[in-house]
Amino acid sequence: MTRWKLILEWDGAPFMGWQRQDHGPSVQGALEQAAHKMTGEQVTAHAAGRTDAGVHALAMPVHVELAKELAPVRLMEGLNALLRPAPVAVLSAEPVADDWHARFSCLGRRYLYRIANRRAPLTLDKGRAWRIAKPLDLAAMQAAAVHLVGRHDFTTFRSVHCQSDSPVKTLDRLTLERVGDEIHVHAAARSFLHHQVRSMVGCLGLVGMGQWSPDEMKQALDARDRAALGLNAPAEGLYFAGAVYESPDA
């Protein structure tokens, strides 16, 4: 039995999220089905993080165990052929130690959120970014983001359906940059609460539009109350960007 580390990329639009669902398609289900068709084995795939319906992934680490002997390139190309036409791609495949776990060995997770700050409707990027037509004040958004970095009780930015044991998390990074007519929000932490990134970005959007001041972001955080949340940004702008492990060989 070989444990394989796969790096996946996907468009989240047609999926109910990563996790296998009874009421709709999932990325996990698509991958497991492709692996079963290729090997005849019942496979369970484990990912570095769960994503909601509509959320995309640029580089999601996943592991599976297979008894069949395969070369890495053969596994990657075989899975990609069988995943079609689902918008999921295996970018790489490599064998790893039996105790390596995509989720439990992960030391950090990174997300990207894309805000398209333009008046024109989205065409090529429809479903892949949150469009805000009103000009955004990037400096104000950056000032607001500072209040969220560090160890805090993020109850305000936590979904009522979150299953985490504690609302306290350490946010290592929350930075914003303008890239053409987009604002990119970069978030990094060991782990995140359900909807945490989308909730933070939604409130940053309010700051950028002038509906909140940067200090009101701190007030919302300090309230520790979901009712204090101003806005939950849509899933379509969110991307799982990558995961951190102990070493490059992990």
Hey, which CATH number is domain 2-105, 3.40.50.450, 1.20.1050.10, 3.40.640.10, 3.30.70.580? 3.30.70.580
User: Which residues lie across from 156 on neighbouring strands?
Assistant: none
Please check whether the two domains, 2-105 and 108-243, share a CATH topology. Answer: yes
- Residue 115's SS3 state is strand
CATH of domain 108-243: 3.30.70.660
Cα separation, 141 vs 154, in Å, equals: 18
Backbone angles phi, psi at 72, to 5 degrees: -55, -45
Please list, in sequence order, all residues whose beta carbon lies within 8 angstroms of the beta carbon of residue 52, skipping any fewer than 6 positions away: 12, 17, 194, 195, 235, 238
**Catalytically annotated residues:** 52
For the chain, the straight-line distance linking the first and the last C-alpha, in angstroms and rounded, comes to 18
Chain center to CA of 216: 26
Domain residue limits, the chain: 2-105, 108-243
Nearest to 117 by CA among 105, 109, 125: 125
Nearest to 31 by CA among 41, 19, 45, 17: 45
Helices (H) and strands (E) in the chain, counts: 5, 10
Whole-Å CA distances, 217 to 30, 132, 226:
39, 19, 13
The answer to whether residues 97 and 63 touch, using CB atoms and an 8 Å cutoff, is no
For 9, other C-beta atoms within 10 Å of its C-beta total 16
HSE at residue 202, side-chain half, CA atoms within 13 A, is: 18
pTM: 0.95
| Region of 165 on the Ramachandran plot (φ > 0 left; ψ -120 to 50 alpha; else beta) | alpha
Per-residue pLDDT of the chain (250 residues; tens, 9 = 90+): 999 999 999 999 999 999 998 889 999 999 999 999 999 999 999 999 989 999 999 999 999 999 999 999 999 999 999 999 999 999 999 999 999 999 999 999 999 999 999 999 999 999 999 999 999 999 999 999 999 999 999 999 999 888 888 999 999 999 999 999 999 999 999 999 999 999 999 999 999 999 999 999 999 999 999 999 999 999 999 999 999 998 654 3
